[in-house]
Amino acid sequence: MKILCAGPTSISPEVLNALSKSKTNPDLDPEYQVFHRSVEKKISKLLNTEATSFFMLGEGIMGLEAAIISLVEPQDRVLVLSNGFFGAGFADYVKFAGGTPVVLEFDFRNGIDVNKLDSFLQQDSNFKLATFVHCETPSGLTNDLNEIVSVLKKYNILTIADCVSSLGGEAIDFDESGLDVLLGGSQKCLSAPVGITIVTISDRAKKVIDDRKTPVISYYMNFKNYYDFKGAPFCYTMNENLIYAMDIALEELFNRNSIELHKTYADITREIIQSAGLELYAKNCRSNTVTAVLMPNEIESESLLKLMRQKYIAISKGVGNMSEKLFRIGHMGQNISKDNFKALFKALDECFKELGVELKISLYDSFCEKIGEV
């Protein structure tokens, strides 16, 4: 099966080979701790920062909840910026921590409007922190990280961003952005196995944790246990296999000029899709890691996905109330290759024909023309 979905993404043979290695006991071997920290520092390198980065064992969404658990205390007001499925989800985590979420909603087909955000904050800025999603995978949007943080910092509001689907695929400078907490995952643009949450945290956010009036209500999801644990190298036994795989995945990413590669394939995909007469879901701020497309002729997306699976290609459908109205292509991580995308567009041509959809152009022929293989 060729993986062209919005994650988890394809994994290279070299990364899979690294995953199979078992070399030591990570609890007892001091050399493992040095190696582990060196891999975490590669995340900081990717983000152009010296700020602390660390790994947690668990799928990336765990980091979203852990950030709230670590930083929010009972009665804290949290501004939840929502222009997509995952943005809205932060409100639940705030409630779990005893905080009070205030959801500011934006149109799901457009990037977060910073003018609307600023106008709202002029009337009410009494928030400890704000959350938002950098890349909303369900809708194919990438919000403007720097602009959003810049507005929030004017009001001295701590910032948390879900970058699970943008880390490694969109240009991010942690220091330049002024972000306080960046949350990532292993299984999207990094093309490492599922199971690692990635966190990069500012000194400002660390101080907020230090200055809490109440204890963090979790051991496992307490950020401080990952960057300042006493008495042992780690707060629990780390999975050395996943870290070996992550190390190779990051080296592959650095060697591929990843940011430019994601942008190139995103531009080509969007241009071809629109030339064929299909409509992109995102009207602006379109993502360089995933493209969401409205299904034509009121056909349900599962009809397309089923035909694609029969041709051994996996793409994604929509999420939530858009589940059967969209299909999504993940041009992210190791999904990106000429052969994968030739197979993708050839299969889409065939499947749309089987569904009775007449495209204005051949997706396959147009892609081959774009990459010079006509």
pLDDT of amino acid 60: 94
Structural domains of the chain, with CATH: 12-254 (3.40.640.10), 258-371 (3.90.1150.10)
Model pLDDT for residues 162-176, shown as the tens digit of each residue? 999 999 999 999 999
Residue with tokens 């052969």: 339
Q: What is the pLDDT of residues 276-290, one digit of tens each?
A: 999 999 999 999 999
Chunked mean pLDDT (size 10), the chain, 374 residues = 96 98 94 98 98 97 97 98 94 97 97 98 98 97 98 98 98 98 98 98 98 97 96 94 98 96 97 98 98 97 98 96 96 97 98 98 96 75
The pLDDT score that the predictor gives to residue 231 is 86
What pLDDT, on a 0 to 100 scale, did the predictor assign at position 374? 53
Residue 328 counted as an annotated binding residue: yes
The token pair that represents 19 in the structure block: 């995953």
Indicate the Cα dihedral angle 323, 91, 226, 183, nearest 10°. 50
Measured distance CA(277)–CA(261) in Å, rounded: 25
Residue 77, CA distances (Å) to 74, 104, 132, 162 in order? 9, 13, 15, 19
Cα separation, 222 vs 72, in Å, equals 11
Per-residue burial over 352-366, b if 16 or more Cβ lie within 10 Å, else e, is beeeebebeebbbeb
Write down the residue that tokens 């919000």 correspond to: 143
Q: In the numeric block, which tokens belong to residue 250? A: 């990051």
The position carrying tokens 């205390």 is 73
- pLDDT score, position 169: 98
Task: Strands of 10-128 (E only): list them.
Answer: 52-57, 77-82, 100-105
Residue 288 carries which side chain, given as an amino acid letter?
N
What are the angstrom distances between the C-alpha of 315 and each of 149, 169, 224, 335, 346? Answer: 32, 18, 38, 11, 13
